[in-house]
Amino acid sequence: MYPRLSQIAADLDSGRTTSSDLTEQALARIGDAHGEGARVFTSVYAEQARAAARAADTLRAAGVRRSPIDGIPVSVKDLFDVVGETTLAGSVVLRGKPVATANAVAVQHLINAGAIVMGKTNMTEFAYSGLGINPHYGTPRNAWQRDVDGGRIPGGSSSGAAISVTDGMAAAAIGSDTGGSVRIPSALNGLTGFKPTASRVSMQGVLPLSTYLDSIGPLAASVECCAIVDAVLAGQPYRAPLAHPLRGLRLLAPTNVVLDGIDDTVAAAYRNALSALSAAGAVIVEQAVPALGELAAINAKGGFTAAEAYAWHRQLIAENHAGYDQRVVSRILRGRDMGAADLLDVIHARARWIANTEAQLDGFDALVMPTVPIVAPRIADLQASDEAYYGANGLMLRNATLINFLDGCAVSLPCHAAGEAPVGLSLAAPAGHDRRLLSIASAVEALLRG
């Protein structure tokens, strides 16, 4: 993994490295026959990246630094439009469809900032799973226990995004998050992931899963790194988050739903994190949040994702049902049985649900819970059994999707001890509290890293 973005930028400014050197290092890792590059990237922009790196070096030598990520390699998920290329979204059914005539707004912001876009990263087909398994392009293997029993899942849907960062193919990655697709792979791979308030980053030029829930965020090495990339994606000047005092910080830790099915490893890491926060002066209030128990019933017919995905995919499914990942298309087809009244029920229920949840959060600085209640399962186990696949997928998505339905913002922080299975700690807040949440996460990160 690369150092933090601020350290890379300092190395570039001082001449200790160059953008061209960083780009060649990333390309070497992508092309390593013994590495994960072939499963991580669906497209590699080698020559474009080299040209952009040379330009960045020339400008820096002339005293021009376009942004905090100028000249630094990044990756983008395979559902962002890149001009001249068909956006495939981890699928094969869109091959031959028209190419993008413009870059996605988020991609253009990266280019304008001088980032070196290395290529597009693999993902769960059409972003419709939290596991990261892809039968078309292969499944990138988690760095934890990579060579044991075929390896473990990377988490999804931004699977390649996570492994591009852990394996040094990019210093930061851009993913999407509809039900946890930035935070889940971050948690399972020991990264930091930030899901901003949905309206913060433009979705123009991004293939949708649910326009009600989709958001765009970074996966990177630290809260600071995520804040830097988030500012670029949002088209705003970067302001470093100031660590929020931990003493007196009020955190609501739900005791219902989010701990169901938790495994021993995650439970231990979570309790240790809460104990450390409490010892540092944070006030941890553990209580039930009744609204969390209502969400399954609200989405019983498939919710926003099934309804919107079916509306978007129904013609493609009629043309090429067999070309889809069958475990993905089966979930999309749930939307076929949802009527307009069913969708309106979800829309109205969501408004009430947000109001009730925010009312209980009033007086607290953030919500705290495990990002994912289990460690990364083995790829082979989930490929072999539909029951295991769907069971694990439900657990992967359950906690994270609560924040998407809230239209909130959330950070996943590594909270495991060195050498142990990666575990993520989630901090979340209602919509619009992004900067304050990043400040809180910065302080918690410093505590957890000792």
Cis peptide before 442 (omega within 30 of 0): no
Taking each helix axis from N to C end, the angle separating 19-31 and 46-61, rounded to the nearest 10 degrees, works out to: 160
Indicate the pairing of strand 366-370 with strand 424-429: antiparallel
Say how far apart CA 423 and CA 432 lie, in whole Å: 26
Phi, psi of 111 (to 5 degrees): -65, -45
The two tokens of residue 366 are: 């953030």
Say how far apart CA 27 and CA 115 lie, in whole Å: 15
DSSP-derived secondary structure for 3-69: --HHHHHHHHHHTSS-HHHHHHHHHHHHH-TTSSHHHHEEEE-HHHHHHHHHHHHHHHHTT---STT
Q: How far apart are the first and last CA of the chain?
A: 20
Burial of 181 (0-12, 13-18, 19+ CB in 10 A): buried
Which residues does the annotation mark as catalytic?
77, 157, 181
Phi, psi of 262 (to 5 degrees): -70, 140
| Strands annotated E in 168-276 | 172-176, 192-195, 216-220, 250-254
| Contacting residues for 324 by C-beta, under 8 A, at least 6 apart | 91, 93, 125, 317, 332
Say how far apart CA 289 and CA 111 lie, in whole Å: 42
The two tokens of residue 54 are: 């040379």
Phi, psi of 52 (to 5 degrees): -65, -35
User: Strand pairing partners for 411?
Assistant: 194, 427
Say how far apart CA 299 and CA 279 lie, in whole Å: 38
| Contacting residues for 241 by C-beta, under 8 A, at least 6 apart | 223, 224, 227, 435, 438, 439, 441, 442
